[in-house]
A and B are shown apart, each in its own frame.
Chain A
Amino acid sequence: MTMLEIKDLHASAEGMEILKGVDLSINPGEVHAIMGPNGSGKSTLAQVLAGNEVYEVTDGQILYKGQDLLEMAPEERAREGVFMAFQYPVEIPGVSNVYFLKAALNAIRTHRDLDEMDAMDFLTYVREKMKLVKMDEALLNRPVNEGFSGGEKKRNEIFHMAVLDPVLAVLDETDSGLDIDALKVVADGVNTLRNDERAFLVITHYQRLLNYIVPDFVHVLVDGKIVRSGDKELALELEEKGYAWLEREVGASEPVGV
């Protein structure tokens, strides 16, 4: 069964249309990459999937595991297994990273009729996940993202993802601004979590990430529409030619959105 089915999705922010009819199907176990120039609507697609109310869906439909995703609150989506790694993770002073994750995981577990994890079990579980993203234990006990470097914040997002064990993981430009070591950590995290049940939607501006996370499908988003889909070769072609040839080909107007 298809995990995610996006049909003719239109979305706008502050009255300006950014997504202008996106169609996309994702099956369990698949890794899809979405590439595109600045302002093409990549991040908007991620935000709409996670339920950011800043964006208004004006037309179209998203089915997730057969359910109407757009009807669900952001926390319901998370509890049903949707995870988005933020491009700009938020700092939350006074709230410890590890206890926050415990609260989040238990909210998800309660929703799935599982027992809440106690402190001991949780710590064992978390230590396991930490190894995956080579997280420094010190970052566990610090407030969420507070005073983290850019790389630490992105790594922390992957760590959250590992702990929350999503069904569909959306990575919103998680690679942007990372040095090669941090990039490898992010990619390793994703690759370790790849399995037959889980799907990934990796949004990136740069082809480089896709050397480390090899996608099953690559889609190019231009001016709010997917203008081309292919396999990983498409990413290499884009690397060589840039986005301009596709933009010319589809006769895109001025770039829009954020």
Chain B
Amino acid sequence: MTMTLTETGVDRYVVEFDHFLRDLAVAGPERIEKLRHTAFERFVELGFPTVRDEQWRFTNVAPIARAELRLDSTPAEVTDKDLAPFDYEGCAQLVVVNGQFVPERSRLEGLPEGVVACGLADALERHPEQIESHLARYARVEEQAFVALNTAFLRDGVFLYVPRNVVVEKPVNIVMVGRPEDRPIGFFPRNLFVAEESSQVTLVEQYVTVGEGSYLCSPVTEVVTGDNAVIDHYKLQRETSEAFHTATFQIQLGRDSNFSSHSISWGGAIVRNDVNAVLEGEGAEATLNGLYMVEGTQLVDNHMRVDHVAPHCDSHELYKGILEGSARAVFSGLIHVHPGAQKTDAKQTNRNLLMSPDALCNSHPQLEIFADDVKCTHGSTVGQLDDTAVFYLRSRGIGEDAARSLLTYAFASDIVDRIKVGSVKRDLEEFLFRRLPKGDIVRQAV
């Protein structure tokens, strides 16, 4: 056992866990209190994943396991000025710094009556009944080391609750700030979003860095989309290129519900997104789209699992990637159709654009089908810009760099165009214009 601990870099977490429990202000319901312990035990058993683990074959998290992360960091300060680039006009705002909710920087006025938007620690204390039926009931503690670790260190994050029939007009902008310290730190935001029957809400999660330095941000977000509810979700992973990010996003879909997510990643050194959607009510529809654009030695890994449990459900996945330098991308998409999930309509597409001979992509779409009357398609491509298209643009007087940038933008554009929150779309466009060579010409031409 000791051998295993040392090998997997888990031993020092035992001490950190003791410190964490000692300092924990709000333990929450008894189940949660116990769960932290079982989750920690599970993490110790599992250890950090290695490339021998099928689900982590191409994503080596040894740098995270080796990093001597401090987990007891003191609450850090951020100013409104620090937050200005991420502050979206017309949105409600919740700010979390190093995993802890900061009410002073949050802006919650104008939300409809009955909507709860607060820190998870507050919710553990003030809304235990609303939390109890959902918190830590979906994400797979047993199987996933990072979920186990997050659950062991469960303390704070964001809780959002939208009651039955309530439509939240204002998008809710959640700013998850990493504030590096002089030594690498680790934190584990825990989020719970619940949209009750026939409610509707638009959510933005931005993962950002204020300052410079290395850290691990390892959030777990559980989403409950009630019967006939509609959630439109956006995630912007825009942390510093020194950050490690291992996120689990677990979505439950009720009858006739509609959940849509666009996950945009351009930051981080190692970024892993585990996205699990469970369509458990008849007639549910899930849209899981994503765009990643990485350079240098960045690694981005999107691991998707869609479980079609109930009949007559649709899922659509479109992930697109642009890889520069020696960047690497991993895409793994599993569609699992359970027995009885007849009339499933599932589509999954992953397209990658390699901009450099040193960039590398591993793409693995998979289908597991245990029902006989279903429509499932998947496809993946890895390619380069089309020379004929480049030549076409150059033949109109556009320089080569600008032509390549225009076509790269064109590749990304179907994801960009689907973004319904103006500020998110604008930020993504601005990022592309900045990142792409001769971006000013792209800006002019789109």
**Residues of chain A at the chain B interface (Cβ within 8 Å):** 50-54, 73-75, 77-79, 83-84, 86, 89-90, 92-96, 99-108, 111, 143, 160, 164
Cα(A51)–Cα(B446), bound, Å? 25
Cα(A143)–Cα(B407), bound, Å? 12
Minimum CB–CB distance from A77 to chain B (whole Å) comes to: 8
Query: Could you write out 10 A-B pairs with CB less than 8 Å apart?
Result: A78-B394, A86-B392, A90-B386, A90-B388, A90-B392, A96-B445, A96-B446, A99-B446, A103-B398, A103-B441
B residues 379-421 touching A (CB-CB < 8 Å): 386-389, 391-400, 402-403, 406-407, 409-410, 412-414, 416-417
- Report, as a range, how many residues of chain B touch the other chain: 20 to 34
Contacts of B413 on A, CB cut-off 8 Å?
93-95, 143
Cα(A100)–Cα(B389), bound, Å? 14
Would you call A75 and B399 a contact (CB within 8 A)? yes
Would you call B389 and A90 a contact (CB within 8 A)? yes
Contacts of B409 on A, CB cut-off 8 Å?
94-95
B406: nearest chain-A partner, CB-CB: A95
Would you call B410 and A104 a contact (CB within 8 A)? no
Minimum CB–CB distance from A72 to chain B (whole Å) comes to: 11
Contacts of B446 on A, CB cut-off 8 Å?
94-96, 99
Cα(A84)–Cα(B393), bound, Å? 11
**Residues of chain B at the chain A interface (Cβ within 8 Å):** 386-389, 391-400, 402-403, 406-407, 409-410, 412-414, 416-417, 441, 444-446
Would you call B400 and A75 a contact (CB within 8 A)? yes
Cα(A50)–Cα(B406), bound, Å? 20
Cα(A207)–Cα(B417), bound, Å? 44
Minimum CB–CB distance from B130 to chain A (whole Å) comes to: 42
Would you call A100 and B394 a contact (CB within 8 A)? no
Tell me if A's interface is mostly helix, strand, loop or mixed: helix
A161: nearest chain-B partner, CB-CB: B396
Contacts of B387 on A, CB cut-off 8 Å?
53-54
Contacts of A93 on B, CB cut-off 8 Å?
410, 413-414
Contacts of B403 on A, CB cut-off 8 Å?
75
* Other A-B pairs, 17, CB within 8 Å; known A92-B407, A94-B409, A105-B397: A51-B394, A53-B387, A75-B398, A75-B399, A86-B392, A92-B392, A92-B406, A92-B410, A94-B410, A95-B406, A95-B409, A95-B413, A95-B446, A96-B446, A107-B441, A111-B397, A143-B410
